[in-house]
Structure 1
Amino acid sequence: MTEDAPNRRALGGVLAAIAVSLTGTRISTIALPWFVLVTTGSATQTGLVVFCEMTPYVVVKAFTGPVVDRIGPRVVSWTTDLVSATAAAAVPLLHTLSWLSFPLLLALVASIGAVRGPGDLAKEVMVPEAAERGRIPLQRATGLSGMTEGLASTLGPAVGGALVALLGPLTGLFANAACFALGSVIVALALPRGMGHGASAGASTGYWRRLGEGFTFLRGELLLLTIIVTAGITNLLNAGFVAVLVPVWASESGNGPGAIGLMSAALGAAAVGGSLIAAVLAHRLRRRVVFFTGFLLAGAPRFLILAVDAPMAAVLAVFAISGFGAGFLNPVLGAVLFERVPRPILGRVSALGDALSWAGIPLGGLIAGVAVASVGFVPVLLVGGAVYFLTTNLSGLRPEWREMDRVKGRGSPKPGHARDAPSTGAQLGA
């Protein structure tokens, strides 16, 4: 076996783990809200469940960056996926036994969120090392990562919608648990033991000092801070849209959970195409143009099409166009992050950036549920689409975005391994 073979296998293992765990999460985004909606009949309680899952996700993720840097992302990934699998399986099992109260459901989803945050972070920060081991340009690796996410976002909702429509939401919840378990096995057995063993830089310093180093670095990066604020607002809107507005639309329109799966699959399949193009051609294009064009397609159109009572074919077409635009976002964001952050502090900076950009997600479903109950479904869609459009366009006027088109070699990849000239892109939860 040549030296290159295990290196390429490292990236394949990371992408496989991302694909499996994200597929389960996408199944859950259909199964869990639908389960709550049909058992309680309350959009507000549906939003509350999302709030209780995403709040610990964001908070715990923010503070586990130094831990990931210290003990290594491989160990963090497989252990947290195993815990997620156990908690996710408990939800349908306890409901079947008639032991699942609503407070207990909230506690279980909170525990899933608390361990899923570090698990997602660990997989994310293994991408640049896996690219380096395989001598794969960073832009291409982040493009492949984005394509993997798109495939999972296509397969997961399609499977989730079909399972919920044919066999009920409990089956979807069991499938989510199985995906987490498989992801844990892949990381534990397929990835080299020496991979992501933990950064030596700063290992002897205390936890709070290492966390402070991440804050200090992030404060000096105006481009990353601007990206985080923009992503934070759009993530809040996306959370309310996916967790509450789409299920309410499916229920009120009579299309049911199968339609949710079709819409998500159309969006995800088109996102795969966008990410594939990003992997092949993005280094030849101006990042700002690609980024803001992608946001223009990915955001407001989805809100507006559900507000006008359009036929299903039109809804699917708009979601496909939005997915194509979204496919370009995370590859660009991912490479920007990996380029600008030194490898020894990548975990803590990524954790802080992700947590800040995801801070509104726990509130998204809660706000959407309360808003729908207060002012109605269509007004919430129209306001959400308008805010999305204004946020992405007004943000683009800030001068910091000019830095996006300039490679900043602060990272520490080996020469010729994980660098793609002249430009690249990462992931802050767009």
Structure 2
Amino acid sequence: MLSPSTGGVRVWCRTRRLDPDAASPLHGGPVRRSTILFLLADAASLLGNSFIAVVLPWLVLARTGDPAAAGVVAAATAAPAVIAALVGGWVVDRVGRRRISIISDLGSALAVAAIPLVDATAGLDLGWFVLLGALGALFDVPGMTARESLLPDVARAGGMSLDRLSGVREGLFGVTFLAGPALAGLALTAFEPTAVLVVTAAASALAALCTLLIPAAVGRRSADALAEPAARQLLGGLRVVAADPLLRAVTVLSIGSAAVLGPLQALLLPAWFSTTGSSAALGLTLSALALGTLVGAGTYAVAAGRMRRRTAYLLCLLCVSTGMLLLASLAHPLVVALAMFVCGLGSGLLSPVVPVVVAGRVPESHRGRVFGVQNAVVMLLAPLAVGLAGAVAASSLEWAFYAATALWLATALYGALVPGMRSLDEPATTCEETPAEQRC
């Protein structure tokens, strides 16, 4: 693979098969402990995020009495989230993946803990919610980028296949997505929202503690991360994605998925269940999506090393396309739930592949910026997709579902035909940056 030039820094590349059982520079107990601590940190952080997604809108409504205020808070935090994704990837590469994971989780914990503190002292209003929500976004997004970037380091240190570890991580995401909102709802029935936020802050603090216990050698900043001028570093991730056909294709597919799934979860499904008088089935449908993601990711983790990545990828396109066609029929709430399970199954098969692709195609010193670019683009376009879906749904809810299905089918057709995705099973590439000329 020809890696893109990075200004004055050139790249020497050597291509080889990564041996998941190769000896790690860290041996014995600490090796296994690193993997467990990473998964615990990721699960705790995801659990905190799932709690805040339920508790914060509830608290906004309780304190302001305005149903539109929750939408204002969400919109006000979107721009900081996009900026944090772009700049955060650069910070991850400059400072170090493990270190930024710790700082971000601690910052998230403080931002969430500040909400009940302000409520008890100055009193919460819309301005405070916007300010603290934006502050939380500035920490959450770099933390997400840092953990994604840290995944290959943890797999290498633990002697575990990156495919398998990525599958296990996505399976934990499915469990959290399934259990988190339900647990948050139960907590709100027993405790005040501010008390639940204290538990949410504690989850982020636990994530920071687990990452802190990972050996410092895991996820350390690349020695070449500071070799470029700062202005070029900020655009480094965009240049890497633009120069690699596989990374471009993965990014386009991520955009297409977000443009479909975001409106479905945030708008179309709640609107349809409310019109059918089956609002209680909405929770079942979203749980079916999470369960499908868990099953798909678990299948990939178990089959890692035996299933080709392209096979998992094509199965993903087939499953999600089938699920979207079922969903467009809107035949019955149970059919809709089944459709979302099938969509989740396909998503779970593909999601673990993305970190593996990035790890194999991107120089270590650019990994955070590449994830940052992908996250920023998705965060920028997802709200726009929700707004567009709302405009279509205002005329016809059924046509909004048809449009979402057509958009996914177009994305799947692109994914099946684009040449870049044919190299999913090429040998992984490790790149060493050096001020010499570029060779592969």
Q: What TM-score does the superposition give when structure 1 sets the normalisation length?
A: 0.82
Residues 298 and 71 (structure 1 numbering): CA distance in 2 closer, same or farther, change over 3 Å? same
Structure 1 contact 229–357 (Cα < 8 Å) conserved: no
Q: Name the % identity.
A: 28
Q: Which residue of 2 aligns with 1:71?
A: 95
Q: Following TM superposition, by how much is the alpha carbon of 1:21 offset from its aligned partner in structure 2, in angstroms? A: 0.8
Report Cα offsets for 1:183-202 as digits up to 9, x if no partner.
Answer: 122222x2123332311114
User: How far apart are the structure 2 equivalents of 1:303 and 1:172?
Assistant: 39
Q: Which residue of 2 aligns with 1:404?
A: 424
Q: Which residue of 2 aligns with 1:141?
A: 165
User: How far apart are the structure 2 equivalents of 1:182 and 1:350?
Assistant: 24
**Residue 239 of structure 2: which of 216, 219, 242 is its match?**
216
Residues 204 and 332 (structure 1 numbering): CA distance in 2 closer, same or farther, change over 3 Å? closer
Letter in 2 for 1:360: L
Q: Which residue of 1 aligns with 2:373?
A: 352
Q: Which residue of 1 aligns with 2:17?
A: none
Q: Which residue of 2 aligns with 1:381?
A: 401
**Residue 290 of structure 2: which of 242, 256, 268 is its match?**
268
Matched ranges for 1:233-272 at <5 A: 233-249=256-272, 259-272=281-294
Moved more, 318-327 or 337-346: 318-327
Residues 97 and 393 (structure 1 numbering): CA distance in 2 closer, same or farther, change over 3 Å? farther
Moved more, 299-308 or 380-389: 299-308
1:121 aligns with 2:149: no
Letter in 1 for 2:257: T
Q: Which residue of 2 aligns with 1:230?
A: 253
Indicate the SS of the match to 1:24: helix
Moved more, 222-231 or 192-201: 192-201
Structure 2 contact 151–355 (Cα < 8 Å) conserved: no
Structure 1 contact 263–316 (Cα < 8 Å) conserved: yes
Q: Following TM superposition, by how much is the alpha carbon of 1:94 offset from its aligned partner in structure 2, in angstroms? A: 4.9
Count of aligned pairs between the two proteins: 405
Residues 110 and 365 (structure 1 numbering): CA distance in 2 closer, same or farther, change over 3 Å? farther
Structure 2 contact 326–335 (Cα < 8 Å) conserved: no
Q: Which residue of 2 aligns with 1:322?
A: 343
Q: Which residue of 2 aligns with 1:416?
A: none
User: How far apart are the structure 2 equivalents of 1:161 and 1:242?
Assistant: 17
Moved more, 83-92 or 133-142: 83-92
**Residue 10 of structure 1: which of 24, 28, 34 is its match?**
34
Structure 2 contact 320–346 (Cα < 8 Å) conserved: yes
User: How far apart are the structure 2 equivalents of 1:93 and 1:306?
Assistant: 46
Q: Which residue of 2 aligns with 1:426?
A: none
**Residue 277 of structure 1: which of 282, 299, 303 is its match?**
299
Residues 269 and 360 (structure 1 numbering): CA distance in 2 closer, same or farther, change over 3 Å? same
User: How far apart are the structure 2 equivalents of 1:267 and 1:121?
Assistant: 24
Structure 1 contact 50–365 (Cα < 8 Å) conserved: no
Q: Following TM superposition, by how much is the alpha carbon of 1:365 offset from its aligned partner in structure 2, in angstroms? A: 4.0
User: How far apart are the structure 2 equivalents of 1:370 and 1:175?
Assistant: 38
Q: Which residue of 2 aligns with 1:390?
A: 410
Q: Following TM superposition, by how much is the alpha carbon of 1:221 offset from its aligned partner in structure 2, in angstroms? A: 0.3
Indicate the SS of the match to 2:429: coil
Residues 123 and 204 (structure 1 numbering): CA distance in 2 closer, same or farther, change over 3 Å? same
User: How far apart are the structure 1 equivalents of 2:266 and 2:240?
Assistant: 34
Report Cα offsets for 1:141-184 as digits up to 9, x if no partner.
Answer: 22222222222222213323444566686666554333222212
Report Cα offsets for 1:227-265 as digits up to 9, x if no partner.
Answer: 112211321332232233344456555555x75544333
User: How far apart are the structure 1 equivalents of 2:322 and 2:139?
Assistant: 32
Indicate the SS of the match to 2:112: helix
Residues 139 and 186 (structure 1 numbering): CA distance in 2 closer, same or farther, change over 3 Å? same
Residues 101 and 210 (structure 1 numbering): CA distance in 2 closer, same or farther, change over 3 Å? same
Greater Cα radius of gyration, structure 1 or 2: 2
Q: Following TM superposition, by how much is the alpha carbon of 1:360 offset from its aligned partner in structure 2, in angstroms? A: 1.0
Structure 2 contact 93–368 (Cα < 8 Å) conserved: yes
Q: Which residue of 2 aligns with 1:420?
A: none
Letter in 2 for 1:126: L
User: How far apart are the structure 2 equivalents of 1:379 and 1:31?
Assistant: 32
User: How far apart are the structure 2 equivalents of 1:244 and 1:235?
Assistant: 13
RMSD: 3.2
Q: Which residue of 2 aligns with 1:152?
A: 176
Q: Which residue of 2 aligns with 1:290?
A: 312
Indicate the SS of the match to 2:417: coil
**Residue 40 of structure 1: which of 53, 63, 66 is its match?**
66
**Residue 20 of structure 1: which of 44, 50, 53 is its match?**
44
Residues 366 and 93 (structure 1 numbering): CA distance in 2 closer, same or farther, change over 3 Å? farther
User: How far apart are the structure 2 equivalents of 1:255 and 1:107?
Assistant: 36
User: How far apart are the structure 1 equivalents of 2:86 and 2:281?
Assistant: 35
Indicate the SS of the match to 1:116: helix
User: How far apart are the structure 2 equivalents of 1:235 and 1:93?
Assistant: 35
User: How far apart are the structure 1 equivalents of 2:268 and 2:124?
Assistant: 25
Q: Which residue of 2 aligns with 1:198?
A: 221
Indicate the SS of the match to 2:427: coil
Indicate the SS of the match to 1:40: coil
User: How far apart are the structure 2 equivalents of 1:171 and 1:275?
Assistant: 33
User: How far apart are the structure 1 equivalents of 2:196 and 2:340?
Assistant: 23
Q: Following TM superposition, by how much is the alpha carbon of 1:222 offset from its aligned partner in structure 2, in angstroms? A: 1.2
User: How far apart are the structure 1 equivalents of 2:241 and 2:338?
Assistant: 39
Structure 1 contact 47–368 (Cα < 8 Å) conserved: no
User: How far apart are the structure 1 equivalents of 2:317 and 2:115?
Assistant: 35
Letter in 2 for 1:269: L
Structure 1 contact 8–130 (Cα < 8 Å) conserved: no
Indicate the SS of the match to 2:224: coil
User: How far apart are the structure 1 equivalents of 2:118 and 2:409?
Assistant: 42
Report Cα offsets for 1:80-121 as digits up to 9, x if no partner.
Answer: 212222323444665677933334323322222121111111
Report Cα offsets for 1:283-321 as digits up to 9, x if no partner.
Answer: 33343342243244346736964873723x444433332
Indicate the SS of the match to 1:199: coil
**Residue 100 of structure 1: which of 117, 124, 131 is its match?**
124
Indicate the SS of the match to 1:55: helix
